[in-house]
Amino acid sequence: MILVTGATGNVGAELVHALAAAGEPVRALVRDDARRAALPAGVEAAVGDLNRPDTLAPALEGVRGVHLLAGYAGLPDALEHMRRAGVERVTLQSSSAAPSGDTTNAVARYHIESEAAIRDSGLEWTFLQPNGFMSNALQWAEQLRQGDVVTAPFAKVRTAQIDPRDIAAVAAVALTRDGHAGRSYRLSGPESLLAAERVAILGSVLGRDLRLEPQSDENARAEMSSTMPAEYVDAFFAFFAEGTLDESAVLPTVEQVLGRPPRTFAEWARDHAGAFR
């Protein structure tokens, strides 16, 4: 049995589907009963919270592998509960920022601290350190329902974004096959694109003449500050305005693990075109 935390998120949902499709027994950890409805038919659900490790016992029964998200304050205690329950291996959805070791950056820090907790847990581990997600383009959906112009920050930054399905596929391999313990996998998509190029690809898929309007740093900071803590806003500006994080390189890791190239943004856009109509 494999337990997937974050099972309704971008990667977790895809991992649940991938494991179920492969015939692997899979259980999804959800925080409340209302989220059970979002799970595929036949997938077990268990209610629990990593920040409340005492709630995890039913979820961990019979589990040998766990997929984890970074940033939980209760993670060290949760890992101890997993070890005592007989869990053998874990995957962590970490970040491309983690290898920097920069704990002065708030976003990098919580990934670095989560990786450290897992290293100290005594469990076999595999870290997934992906670039930004192609699914971030869903933030443009409301703008495109109103017109043909997308406003986006950091327009001059080139990134090799990755389809969450490919992160999930790598996680599924690491959880179900030997040979991945103690590995940190930096993950990218197959092409390094500017936001304007992604907008153009999306427009081609939708049959619309779309264009990008770069957002000023001032407006971007104000918009981001309305939805996230100031230290996280500062972190993202350090990454993409100051250039402390480079996600432009196309990396071979996905193909090395999966035996196939990662999906292109055009493929992602075709599969999610309905969200923009």
Domain assignment present for 26: yes
Domain assignment present for 246: no
Q: For residue 213, give the 3-state DSSP assignment.
A: strand
Domain assignment present for 111: yes
Domain assignment present for 223: no
Q: What is the dihedral of CA 234, 239, 241, 247, to 10 degrees?
A: -160
Closest among 139, 265, 160, 111 to 202, alpha carbons compared = 265
Tell me the residue range of the domain where 99 lies: 2-131+163-187+251-260
Q: What is the count of structural domains for the chain? A: 1
Stated pTM of the model: 0.95
- Per run of 10 residues, the mean pLDDT along the chain (length 277 residues) is 93 94 92 74 86 92 96 93 96 97 96 97 97 97 94 96 98 96 98 98 96 96 96 97 97 98 98 93
User: Which pLDDT belongs to residue 13?
Assistant: 93
Rounded distance, CA 196 to CA 193, Å?
8
Rounded distance, CA 205 to CA 63, Å?
42
Domain assignment present for 6: yes
